[in-house]
Each structure stands twice: as structure tokens, then as C-alpha cells.
Amino acid sequence: MMKRAIGKDEHTRAVLQQTVQNIGLYIILTCVAIITVFPFLWVFFTSFKGPTDAIYSVPPQLIPHEPTFANYIRVWNFLPVGRFFINSIVVTMSVVVLNTLFTSLAAYPLAKMKFKGSNTIFYLLLVTYIIPSALTAIPSYILAVRVFHYYDHIQAAILPYLATVFNIFLLRQAYKGVPDDLIDAGHVDGANEFRIWWNIVIPIIRPSLATVAIITFVEQWNNFFWPSLVLPTMTNKTLQVGLVALQGAFVSDARGTAAGVVMTVVPMIIFFLLLQKQFIRGLTGAVKG
């Protein structure tokens, strides 16, 4: 790598240019940060305003004069927010664990085994990949109400998501990266397929499993359309559905709505901040450079 020798003046100029550039970048970053954070800030402060603290005034007054927890207490007493969280956690964790298990099982033979019908199944899955989720809603609903009778039960939000084709394909790609020698070595040792899969292959594709788990986690946590159809009773609702119910119950009560939003968002933000690296690695790991 050839480097030209640079004189002292040029060096100072370069440093100055860099600093100016940096300041410019920080300004851009701060502007974007403000746009990003402003709604949260406003909602956060609004949630602490008492009845005498105006939400709407010209010029606007962001910080409450007499902050109070009354709105949070009101919302907590009126709606089972704790239950919303529990339901969401149960649904999300069940789906994450079982979906990852089922799809990692299913993707393996598609990547590493030869068997009759493997092509048919692969193309079948490819076909189902394009099915929009809204399409399956009507028959799924009828299944939930008429056939399986789990309408208004928490299984209704879990069962349809126990296997997603996207995850199967993602893991299939991951398996393809596993060298065949390792698997053959397992065969030579006399292990059955399941043990090879569990003991040898799974540890290798762990990063992709993490990706699948995290993608599924975020998807399920933020899922609204389907749970809103099958979880009508208040104590059965998941967080996102409960949040909409909250908004319906506090429709002209901006303070209460704000408190509800803060209550549901803050735990997730804290959770994310603690596990930042894993989250980001997982979500972006879906795209191979």
C-alpha cells in the first residue's frame, strides 16, 4: 500500500476537514435521532401529566409541572396489562421454541438427505412460501371456531405459527454450509440420524438458529392481525391486541393512552438494550453478504 508523504499544512487541513465532516455528521445524526425519539418522548411526558397539566397548549409544554403516576394506576386497574404481558410471553416463547425446533428438523433432510419425494416437498414448500398470511386468516378462523374449538384460547395464537416456510428455507441454506464429512464421520461411528443432527450439526448452525429465533420472536411479539381475530376476551389478549383495546377504552383520554403505550413499550426497549448485540446480529444475519 503506497502512501504519499504529506506536508504539515496538508495534514492540518485534512484533520480540519475531517473534524468539520464529523460535526456535520453528528448534526445529521442528532436530527435523525430527534425525529426518531420525539414521539416516544412526547408520549412519555404526556403519560405523567395530571388532569391540570395541559396536554395541548400553544406554545406546547412538554414537561409536566406536577408529574403523577395516576394515569398508570388508572390504566393498570382498568385493563389487565399484566395478563397482556404474560399472554404475549407465553405465545411468543412457545412459538419461538417450537417453531425453531420444527423448522430445524424439517430443513435438515431437505438439505442433507436424499429421499423419495424430496423435490416434490421442496417445491410444495416453495409454493406455500408465497401465500400471504391474510389469505389464510378466514379458513384458520373457521378452524379455530368450528373444528379445533380453540377460539378464545391461547393455543389459537400459537398453533398456526409452529412452522414457517421462510425459516425452513433459511435453515436449509445454513445446513448446506455444513461440510458433509462431519456427517459421514457420524455415520461411520454408527450414530443414528437424530443423534448426528442433534450432536454434530445443530451446534454448527447455532448462529442461524439464533437468527431464526430472533426473527420469529420479533414477528410474534409484534403480531396483531391474527391474535386480534381469535382472542376476544380481555384476559386472553396478547400485548398488541390489548394495546388496541386500551386505546379503545381510553379513546379521548390521551394521558391514559400514553401511559398504556409507555407500559407496553418500555419493557421491550429495556429487553432490547440488554441484548442489543444478539438482536442485531440475529435480525441482520438473515441476509448473507
Partner 1 sequence: MHKKLLILLLLVSILVTGCATATTQAPAATSIPPTPQTIILTSAPQTIIETVISEVVVTATPAPNPEAVIQGVEADAEIGFWTFWLSPTFDQYIKDTIARFNQAYPGVTVNWEDHQATFQDDLKASFAAGNAPDVINLSVSEGWVSDYASQGLLLSLDELVPQSVKDLYFPGLWNEQLIDGVNYQFPWYQGINVYLINHQLYDQTGLTIDDFPKNWTELPALCATIKEKTGTLCDIRLTVNDLISQMVYEGNVKPISDDGTSFTFDSAEAVAWLQQYVDMVTAGTVDKTVLVTDQDRVGLDLFTSGQAAFYATGPNLIREVRANNPGLYGYLGVVPAPVGKSGVIGKGLMSLSINAQTEYPNASIALAQFFTNPRSMLEFSKIVSIYPSTPDSYADPFFSAAPVAIEDSAKPFAEDAISKYADIVPTIPHKADVNAILLRYVQDALFNNVPAQQALTDAVAEANLLLP
Partner 2 sequence: MSKKFSLTPYLFLTPALVVVAIFVLYPIFAVLYYSFTDYSIVTPPVWVGMKNYSWLIHDPIFWKSLGHSFIYLLVTPILIVLSVILAIVVNRKLPGIHAFRALFFIPVISGSIAVGIAWRLMLDRNGIINALLLSVGILKEPMQWLAEPSLTLPFCMALTIWLGVGYYMMIFLAGMQNIPEELYDSAMLDGCNSWQKHWFITISGLRPQITFVAVISSLAALQVFNEVFTITGGLGGLLQSAYTVVFYLWQQAFRLSHAGKASAIAMVLLLITLAFSMINIRLLERGTEAD
> Which spans of this chain sit near partner 1 (rule: CB under 8 A)?
51, 73-74, 77-80, 86-87, 90, 93-94, 97-98, 101, 142, 145-146, 149-155, 158, 198, 232-236, 245, 248-253
Q: According to the binding rule CB under 8 A, does residue 141 interact with partner 2? A: yes
Q: According to the binding rule CB under 8 A, does residue 56 interact with partner 2? A: yes
Task: Let me know if 104 is exposed, middle or buried by CB neighbors in 10 A (0-12, 13-18, 19+).
Answer: buried
Q: According to the binding rule CB under 8 A, does residue 142 interact with partner 2? A: yes
Q: According to the binding rule CB under 8 A, does residue 273 interact with partner 2? A: yes
State the Cα angle at 286 between 281 and 289, rounded to 5°: 90
The answer to whether residues 128 and 119 touch, using CB atoms and an 8 Å cutoff, is no
Cell of 33: 435521532
The answer to whether residues 227 and 161 touch, using CB atoms and an 8 Å cutoff, is no
The answer to whether residues 242 and 92 touch, using CB atoms and an 8 Å cutoff, is no
Q: According to the binding rule CB under 8 A, does residue 178 interact with partner 2? A: no
Question: Please, which of residues 96-135 interact with partner 2 by CB under 8 A?
Answer: 101-103, 105-106, 108-110, 113, 115, 118, 121, 124-126, 128-135
Q: According to the binding rule CB under 8 A, does residue 174 interact with partner 2? A: no
Q: What DSSP line would sit under 12-53, residue for residue?
A: HHHHHHHHHHHHHHHHHHHHHHHHHHHHHHHHHHHHT--TTS
Q: According to the binding rule CB under 8 A, does residue 261 interact with partner 2? A: yes
Q: Which entry of partner 1, partner 2, none binds 226, CB below 5 to 8 A by partner kind?
A: none
In this chain, which of 165, 191, 234, 249 binds partner 2, going by CB under 8 A?
Answer: 165
Q: Which entry of partner 1, partner 2, none binds 77, CB below 5 to 8 A by partner kind?
A: partner 1
Give the span between the Cα atoms of 181 and 187, in whole angstroms: 10
Q: What DSSP line would sit under 104-151, residue for residue?
A: HHHHHHHHH---TTHHHHHHHHHHHHT--HHHHHHHHHHIIIIIS--T
Q: Which entry of partner 2, partner 1, none binds 97, CB below 5 to 8 A by partner kind?
A: partner 1
Beta carbon of residue 75, minimum distance to partner 2 (angstroms, whole number): 13
Beta carbon of residue 73, minimum distance to partner 2 (angstroms, whole number): 20
Beta carbon of residue 42, minimum distance to partner 2 (angstroms, whole number): 5
Beta carbon of residue 18, minimum distance to partner 1 (angstroms, whole number): 48
Q: According to the binding rule CB under 8 A, does residue 140 interact with partner 2? A: yes
Cell of 268: 421491550
Beta carbon of residue 160, minimum distance to partner 2 (angstroms, whole number): 4
Residues 6+ away with beta carbon under 8 Å from 286: 170, 211, 215
Beta carbon of residue 265, minimum distance to partner 1 (angstroms, whole number): 21
